[in-house]
Amino acid sequence: MDLLIKNGTIVTATESFVADLAVKDGKITAIGKDLDTDAKEIVDATGKLVLPGAIDAHTHMAMPFGGTVSADSYLAGTRAAACGGVTTIFDYPVQHAGETILGLVNSKRKVLEKEACVDYAMHCCITNLNDGEILDELEKAVAEGITSFKCFLVYKKEGMMVDDATLARLLLRAKELGAMINVHAENPDLIDLNIENFLKEGKTSAWYHYLSRPEYVEAEADQRAVHWAKHLDAPIYIVHMADKEGLEACIRAKEEGAPVYVETCPQYLEFTCDVYKREDGRNFVCSPPMKGQESLDALWEAIKDGFIDTIATDHCPFQSYEKDWGKDDFTKIPNGCAGVENMYPYMLDAANSGKITFEKVVELCSANPAKIFGCTDKGSLSIGKDADIVIYDKDKDFTISVSNMHSDCDHTIWEGKKLHGYPVQTYLRGKLVYDNGEFVGTPGMGQYIKRKPREQ
């Protein structure tokens, strides 16, 4: 064997137990007590947790937005991912009029093949059906392992929004093909109306970013998306859920048996809209924005009750000088924050403090995204699966700072956050990529994941 991790506490989505874990040729080959020590490398994990690598199913690396490009290249973003225990990322390339799905995705893959430090897959954002050509191309895309596609119900002025008829067409076509439609749900008309009124009144600070897109603006679009999915009997995945009312609509649909999946992000579990009143409030501008305490509490309750399916980050950072473009006009602030290196440590800290279980973290951050999005070789520490492994020290104290992160962004909204427990090693298909604070992998070692469609 190539690697033997001994005496660690292996954590799955359902149980934890002390055992050894063996790896050969990038795959997990055995799990049990006192395994054969004839291994090229032996790691003693006594007293530590051994976890599956996390899957961040929502990132925007090198994404053009707001007059610039997000701060992390594929190299920097996936490097940061590895250092936070994330061994697979999903990126969101955005298709525009005249572009094909495969043409866009393949152009991104050419870059990722050279730069990716972890494995990767892609959802493709559909903004234009190209007179129906995209509906036909979806079948080819699914055959190539691209089994999820995103629709924006917002960003109308930016030319990214789809109308309800386009959403319905995509939901129905995806259903036929065993694919999934992901939805960013906010109401653009209410946002534009609020922005127009605030600018007229000279209300331009970051606080008005939140007030232009408050709870009810997101909730209406959440409810509409779920309504169409229920009545078309088509699966839907709501990204970055942030509000209580919209969450409640999803919970009702789930209880009725509808195939509705809900993602939320660490920023909505940690921060409230009060951050937009801070002097550096513009650094926290993302869409949807952080909401009030009631919504934050509802998200945590839904996690405990099993109504949140996944945790992802919406990683889309911009440099501080770019955020400063909007210091006197919130509409000029590029929307997005860093998070791919912080997701797993943050959620594991919640488990370490007793807020949730470690098994629940594995379920949310690894097992569920693998299952929902057809990553058959990922998501658990099981024989035959990829040896994507994180070793976690429950006793290691860590304070997040831009100085100890591995992103190219020059700031972090998590600055000063204290965590009790932290990953000390990350393995990608059995290869060490992160070791006690240092990235030790190689750009380009990440591989494309060809995913399987959902069963019809």
Nearest Cα to 142, choosing from 181, 113, 174? 174
Does the pLDDT value for residue 454 go beyond 80? yes
**Fold (topology level) of 3-51+383-439:** Urease, subunit C; domain 1 (2.30.40)
User: Would the CATH topology of 3-51+383-439 be identical to that of 54-372?
Assistant: no
Q: What is the pLDDT of residues 62-117, one digit of tens each?
A: 998 878 999 999 999 999 999 999 999 999 999 999 999 999 999 999 999 999 99
How confident is the model at residue 66, as a pLDDT? 77
Any idea which architecture 54-372 has in CATH?
Alpha-Beta Barrel (3.20)
387-401 burial, b for 16+ CB within 10 Å, e for fewer?
A: bbbbbbbbeeebebe
Cβ-in-10-Å burial (0-12, 13-18, 19+) of 40 comes to exposed
Q: What is the mean pLDDT of residues 255-261?
A: 97
Q: What is the pLDDT of residues 218-248, one digit of tens each?
A: 999 999 999 999 999 999 999 999 999 999 9
What are the DSSP E strand ranges found in 16-127?
A: 16-24, 27-32, 41-44, 49-52, 54-59, 64-65, 68-69, 86-91, 119-122, 124-125
Q: What is the mean pLDDT of residues 175-199?
A: 97
Q: What is the pLDDT of residues 297-346, one digit of tens each?
A: 999 999 999 999 999 999 999 999 999 999 999 999 999 999 999 999 99
Does the pLDDT value for residue 37 go beyond 80? no
How confident is the model at residue 362, as a pLDDT? 98
**65 near 92, Cβ under 8 Å?**
no
Beta bridge partners of 94: 125
Indicate the length of the chain as a whole number: 456
Distance between CA atoms of 304 and 452, rounded to whole angstroms?
29
Q: What is the pLDDT of residues 370-383, one digit of tens each?
A: 999 999 999 999 99
How confident is the model at residue 453, as a pLDDT? 95
Q: What is the mean pLDDT of residues 137-141?
A: 97
Where are the chain's structural domains? 3-51+383-439, 54-372
How confident is the model at residue 456, as a pLDDT? 59
Task: Band the pLDDT of 36: cuts 50, 70, 90.
Answer: confident
**117 near 75, Cβ under 8 Å?**
yes
